[in-house]
Structures are given as structure tokens and as C-alpha cells.
Amino acid sequence: MNAKQIDQKTLLQNERDPLTHTPVHLLSLDTVGKHYGNIVALRDVTMAVDNGRVTCVLGDNGAGKSTLIKIIAGLHQHDEGTLNIMGEERKFSSPRDALDAGIATVYQDLAVVPLMPIWRNFFLGSELTTGFGPFKRLDVQRMKDITKKELAEMGIDLRDVEQPIGQLSGGERQCVAIARAVYFGAKVLILDEPTAALGVKQSGVVLRYILQARDRGLGVVFITHNPHHAFPVGDRFLLLKRGKSIGYYEKKDITLEELTAQMAGGAELAELAHELESLGGHTETLHEVQAEAAAVQAESVHTR
């Protein structure tokens, strides 16, 4: 198999990014770890994010994806390794800290306040004001205009920025949150499972906005458990399993099939094959799973 892992050494010495040929990464993590009491949530994770690139973090439930983004977004602090922004070591104490460093996070479930109008959501926490002293007030018209314009630029055609954002579809809401992050000068955009709760068509819409954000020069961290969503838009892929990195690839070094196989894992597939066998009657599926398991096994032997 030809899935070649990115040489961690090269990245860590800040020599040269194989993709952009810039010496310093926008955001980089070096052997970062985190534990809650005696439970190790994350261990030995190394990854990098660059301008105009999409770094995908893949993993099943409980793989440590949310712990990873919580560290980058400033909700939790890591206790091992280093987190660098533009080559400078940082440790965020609050989400505000991370925001100020140019890291914007779009959460799957809490991206917006549903009952508030779209334009108020767009500017929430960073409202534009006009006037001085006690007469300082919201610049409503300007905020509405900017919201409309920014969303139109992202290709979202909205009826009315005054309607509650809860009335939009899940995909549209994600897009408003992405547009908001882009407008407020985010350099790194973290997307936490933006497609998890969406249908096929809506997912496609969100993936398109991820590419739009990338084309605007943002470094995107795309967290997902779906390799079919990650592969078309990603430039690098970090695979997590049980809190550990099990692979870090460039797009040219890996295929969708290999990515899927790595995600599923040989042992799990073998187990599934065994279960199917004991149930009986699923001959065709059984053969498929067995073949898949064998392929994964062979590959992991090869890479070792």
C-alpha cells in the first residue's frame, strides 16, 4: 500500500510545510495530550493547519475529536505538548482568548441563538455601535446590510435577515455561522461535525462553503466521522482513535478507500465478520467484510 504518513519530524522542526512551502504553520499542535483526572482523553496528537488548506480530523465517537477542538477553541487547556499559533506557543484560557488569536469555532449544536434574528446572531458578541457615552447604540442598519452582503457573498440568498435564525434549515444555519467567522477575520476556522445532522443535499451545501472559506485563505479544521465528506474537501487527514493519532496523511498519499478502511479498523471489521458469520444468511456481506478486513490487515502490516 502507498499510504505514506507525513514525516512528523519535518513538520516539527518547522522546516518546510510540504504543501505550502511556508516555514511556519498558522496553527500547529505538537504531541498534545489531555487527561481528565486519571482518564486520558487525548494523547500524542500532532497536526498542522495552514492558510487556504483544509485539515480534516476523522474519528469515531469517543475518539477524542471534541477534546481536540475544545483545546484549540480555548474551552479546555492541554496538559502535554505545545500549541503554536504562527510559530508562537500559546495556551488559551477562554474562548475569547482563542477568538482574539483568530480561531473561530462553529459548533454543530450551539452555533446560534434560535429565537434571535439572523443579523443579531451574525453580530452577536461583536456588535457594531454608533454614538458616544450613554448614547452609544447599535448600528442596526449597517449590521443588517453587512449581514445581507456577507451571506450573499457566501452564496446564501436569504429572504429576510430579520427572521429568527431558528427558521433556517440546519445547513443554512451552519453557513451563517461560517460566514460570521469569515467576516470577523478568523484565520483558523474549526468546524465541529458540521454535516453530522444534515441530509445529503444539505451536507453538500455545507461542504461547498467549506471550500469557499478555504479559497478565501482561511485555514480550516474540519471535524467529521464521515470519510466521504472529508476526502473531497480535505488536504490533510488526521485519524484519531481512542484518544490517539492513528495516522496523519496528505491527500496525495491516500485514497478514499484506504481512509475508510483506516477509519473502520481491521480488528473491528474482523469482529463484524465474525458476528455476521454467527448470525448466518449474510453470505455476500460477510465475504465483503472479510475481504475488507484482510486488506486493512495487510496494509497495517505493510506500513509497520
Partner 1 sequence: MASTATLPSHRAPVIDERIGRRSPLQSLLGRPEVGALVGAVVLFVFFSIVAPTFLQPSSFATVLYGSSTIGIMAVGVALLMIGGEFDLSTGVAVISSAITASLFSWYFSFNVWVGVGLALAVSLAIGFVNGWILARTKLPSFIVTLATFLMLTGLNLALTRLIGGSVSTPSIANLDGFASARAVFASAVTIAGIEVKITVFYWIAMVLLASWVLLRTRVGNWIFAAGGDANAARAVGVPVTKTKIGLFMAVGFCGWVLGMHNLFAFDAVQSGEGIGNEFLYIIAAVIGGCLLTGGYGSAIGGAIGAFIFGMANKGIIYAQWNPDWFKFFLGLMLLLATIVNLIVKRRAELK
Interacting residues toward partner 1 by CB under 8 A: 95-96, 99, 105, 107, 110-116, 120, 123-127, 129, 136-138, 140, 157, 159-160, 162, 164, 167
Identify which of residues 196 and 264 has a Cβ nearer to partner 1 in the complex: 196
Identify which of residues 79 and 127 has a Cβ nearer to partner 1 in the complex: 127
Identify which of residues 184 and 204 has a Cβ nearer to partner 1 in the complex: 184
Q: How far is the CB of 109 from partner 1 (least distance, A)?
A: 9
Q: How far is the CB of 185 from partner 1 (least distance, A)?
A: 13
Contact 246, 43 (CB under 8 A): no
Which of 246, 182, 256 shows the shortest CA–CA distance to 220? 182
State the cell numbers at 109: 449544536
Identify which of residues 190 and 254 has a Cβ nearer to partner 1 in the complex: 190
3-state helix, strand, coil in the chain (%, to 5): 45, 25, 35
Identify which of residues 141 and 303 has a Cβ nearer to partner 1 in the complex: 141
Helix (H) / strand (E) element for 291: namely helix 283-303
Q: How far is the CB of 77 from partner 1 (least distance, A)?
A: 17
Contact 245, 262 (CB under 8 A): no
Q: How far is the CB of 106 from partner 1 (least distance, A)?
A: 9
* Rounded distance between C-alpha atoms, residue 20 and residue 37, angstroms: 39
User: How wide is the angle at C-alpha 110 spanned by C-alphas 84 and 128, nearest 5°?
Assistant: 80
Identify which of residues 15 and 160 has a Cβ nearer to partner 1 in the complex: 160
Q: How far is the CB of 124 from partner 1 (least distance, A)?
A: 5
Q: How far is the CB of 102 from partner 1 (least distance, A)?
A: 13
* Rounded distance between C-alpha atoms, residue 299 and residue 263, angstroms: 13
Identify which of residues 106 and 289 has a Cβ nearer to partner 1 in the complex: 106
Phi, psi for residue 186 in degrees, rounded to 5 = -65, 140
* Rounded distance between C-alpha atoms, residue 149 and residue 122, angstroms: 12
Q: How far is the CB of 113 from partner 1 (least distance, A)?
A: 4
Contact 140, 211 (CB under 8 A): no
7 three-state secondary structure: coil
How many CA atoms are closer than 13 Å to the CA of 133, on its beta-carbon side?
0
* Rounded distance between C-alpha atoms, residue 104 and residue 201, angstroms: 25
Question: Which residues, other chains included, contact 38 with Cβ-Cβ below 8 Å and sequence gap of 6+?
Answer: none
Identify which of residues 87 and 166 has a Cβ nearer to partner 1 in the complex: 166
Q: How far is the CB of 274 from partner 1 (least distance, A)?
A: 42
